[in-house]
Each structure stands twice: as C-alpha cells, then as structure tokens.
Structure 1
C-alpha cells in the first residue's frame, strides 16, 4: 500500500468536503468489502446501492479474517440498525404522510394515526432510534421509539401541506432545545479534539477568542439529554467549565457539594 495514499492535510480535506468527495485507503476499502459480504448488508442497504458498492469493490481484496475470528457469547445488546430505518427514510425523502400504529408504555396500542414524518433521530442516552413526526389530527409534535412501532404505511398528502409542515415542526423542535456554553480551560487547549469528540453527537458551534486564547463550545441539545451532557462534562473534569446554562451549572454544583460531603474535610 502506498504510504502516502491518504494525506491528512486540512486544506486538502476541506477542498474534498466542498466537492462532496472522500478519500479511502486500501485497508478501508478491504474492510468495507468484507463487511458487505455479511448477511446483514442485505437489510442495511437498498439493492441498487448494495450492487453498486460491490461492483466498485470487485477488484479489491478482503481482509481475510473469517477463518481467524470467532464470535463468542456475549450479553444482550440493542442493535443500532432497525428494519424500519430504510422505509421511513424513504417516506421522509418523498415528503409523504404516514399511517402509524404504535404501542404505548402501558401496553395499549394506537392504530391508524395519520401523521407527517419529519426526522429519524438516534438517542445516545437510551441507545434507540426515534421517529419525530407531526400528528395530523391532534396537531401535535410526536416522538415515537421505532421499537414501539407496530406498522407504518405511506399515505399521500397535498404538496402544499407537505411543504408547510417541516417549518412548523422545526419551530416546535427548537422550543424543546436547551443551550449551554462550555469553555475549555486554556491549559488544555491542546486536547480540543478530544473535548469536541466527547460532544460529537450534539449540535455545536466553536468560537475562539484570540486575545484570551480561549475556546468556547456552544451546545444545543434536547431537554431529556441533559443528564448525558452532564456525564460528558464530569468525564472531561478540570479540562472544561460551564460558563452558560443555569441548569447544568446547578446540577454540577449539586454533584460537587455531594462529593465534598462524602470525601471532603
């Protein structure tokens, strides 16, 4: 393999991103070809996409690990992939409505509810996929676990309605968001990439103050994800401080007081 096949240069990568291109090493291509041979690939990709990928990688070698690696028994875990992801993504892209039947927490079932799908969202806290959608009858914003969806069918709605609903849903979703500003302690500026990775699953903006040599990360997250944000803040410890976000500051103060009560003098 050419040692200079993939050049980690910021300017080069920026130009590639602007043109919609992405560089792959031969090892990454071999890994992808090996993964596409797995039976799960038939469910994860559309047939045309899968055929195209396999054709593009036809001349590439595989990793050749099947004879050397065996999967041992393990505890049960939730899978990131869900069978409803592909059909729901298609309905969202088509701007069509849905006829949804789903289960409730108490075991009841709501059948045949007409709605408009807005977005698929993966919760890092609960490790589950959710469908964000607009309930046509109640005119309300809904968030439903894919695991609770019994059935879903595509329904035609007027183009005018389909064009207006995304903006309405986006406004309601924005109202559920919380915001906070995280400041990186200057001593730990060299660890900025690690700190940003910890918050990689959230909407964020990074500002740099050249006079003070300080980075500030503006986070946006849903209210029910605040505990997950707190876990990341505690994990990063003295590298960062919460400078804006009263709720997070209050919860960090509570944690500090409890820790001092247990371990402090």
Structure 2
C-alpha cells in the first residue's frame, strides 16, 4: 500500500458503496488490530466475531503505542460501548419481547414494563445509546437511554405479533422524520467530500445539476436532531446554504439576526 491507497473522492466512494465494498488503509488495519488487543474488546464483540477479526489481521503490524504512550490525556467522556448492547442486540435478533425497568429524569423508577425492542440507536448529538421500543400496555413508541435502564429480561411474544410490530414502529419513526435540501455553493464544489463528511451520520442523497454545476444534498433526520443539523451547517459556514426546509431556514435566520444584532450593538 502507498500513500494513495485510499482516495477520498465522492464519486469513487459512491461506487464502492453501491457494490457493497469498503476500503481500509494499512494504518486503519494496524489501528484495529491494536484496539482488538485491548481487554474491552472481549466485552464488545461476540467470541466468534473476535476470533475472525483477529485471524484476518494476524499478519498486520500493530501501532506499537505501548512503547511510547502510557495514557493519553483527555477530557471526561462517556464510553461508546455499553454492557447492555450485546444482550439487547441478541433479544432483537430473536424477535422476542422484553421486561424493562428504567429510571426517569425525576429520579423515579418504572418497574417491569412489557415491550417489544425495535432498534438500538446511537445519538451523535447526546453521544449516548438509546433503545427504541414499543410499549405493549400503552401502545406507544418509546426511546430510553441505556444508561437509564436498571434491568432487562427477555420475554416470549406471539409470533404474529412479533412479525407485525416492526412495520408499525417503522411507520411511527417515518412520521417523526424531516427533510431539508442543502445546496453547496459552487465556489466550494472541490470540498464536497469534506461537506458530506460533516453530514455523515444522517441519511442523505446527492444530486448534481450539470447546467448550473451545483450539488444539492437531501438530508433526512429526526425532528429532535434538527439543532445538531444546524450546528453542522454553521460549522460549514459560507460553503453551503439551506435551499429547502422552512424550519432550518427560520432557525438559521434567527441565529444570524441575533449575531448581527450583538456585533452591531458592540460597534455603536
């Protein structure tokens, strides 16, 4: 592998994704092998998966960080891995129900609630894992932080009910989604890969208008993630503009007006 073993080009990446392929550099393989040697890897992976990964990377070198770094200085942060990930993932794969006990924001505890787990989701906004599930008694959609789950047990559920619930929950989630069109300012077309990377955690489609030489990115996100989308748009600055999406346009106008008013007051 040489310095050009991975090319960060949107057209190339798109073709690879369409074919189900993914490229890994030698540095990434070395990093992965080093991370798999950490004791936390035994908890994060199923034993068979861990054996396969270590076998594939057997001939790869490690980063050799232990010779130079004892512990990297860092700020306090939550761990990405959570002990409940593996058992909950197994329950979801089995199509079973759950008996859940979880804490509320006010400190109260709800005990023994029967539900159907739909999906595990990591929030890039709050940097936490959530369990999306259907509450059987209240017939409502729930989103619970894994950090708030006190206890969870697998429960049997009727096969016909297990088969019907995923479609029902999926329809509920679709109803919570919003879309927006982000247009890349033509002067910054060469930075398309960087712009797409900023929106990497969202569903997106990219269209190119050859007549105007303009890229338009259609973003799909949950309503409660709109502020996070706005933070990404502000980060990209003059490279992009919100072409469609009344809510985002209104919030961008509000924040811009407040900023202008603040600086105008300081210059008087």
TM-score (normalizing by structure 2): 0.90
Aligned length: 264
Equivalent residue for 2:126?
Answer: 126
Structure 1 vs Structure 2 CA RMSD: 2.2
Give the CA deviation at 1:259. 1.7
- The match for 2:223 is 223
Is the 2:10–2:192 contact (alpha carbons within 8 Å) kept by the matching residues of 1? no
3-state SS of 1:119 partner: strand
Using the TM superposition, give the Cα deviation of residue 167 of structure 1 relative to its aligned residue in structure 2, in angstroms.
0.8
Query: SS in structure 2 opposite 1:48?
Result: helix
Aligned to 2:2: 3
Please give the residue correspondences for 1:48-197 in structure 2 after superposition, counting only pairs within 5 Å. 48-72=48-72, 74-197=74-197
Deviation readout 1:199-233 (Å, 9 max, x if unpaired): 11111111111121111111111121111111111
Question: Which shifted more, 7-16 or 196-205?
Answer: 7-16
Deviations 1:90-149 (A, max 9, x none): 111221111111111111111111111111111111111111100111110000000000
Give how far 1:15 is off. Answer: 7.0
5+ residue gaps in structure 2? none
When residues 12 and 201 of structure 1 are mapped into structure 2, their CA distance, relative to the original with a 3 A threshold, is: closer
| Uncovered stretches (5+) of structure 1, i.e. residues with no partner | none
Pairwise CA distance, 1:186: 1.2
Contact map agreement 1:208 1:215 (CA 8 A) in 2: yes
Indicate how the Cα distance of structure 1 residues 7 and 263 shifts in structure 2: closer, same or farther if over 3 A, else same. closer
Q: Distance in 2 between matches of 1:128 and 1:7?
A: 30
Moved more, 63-72 or 5-14: 5-14
Tell me the SS of whatever aligns to 1:115. strand
Give the alignment's TM-score, normalised by structure 1: 0.91
SS for the counterpart of 2:30 is helix
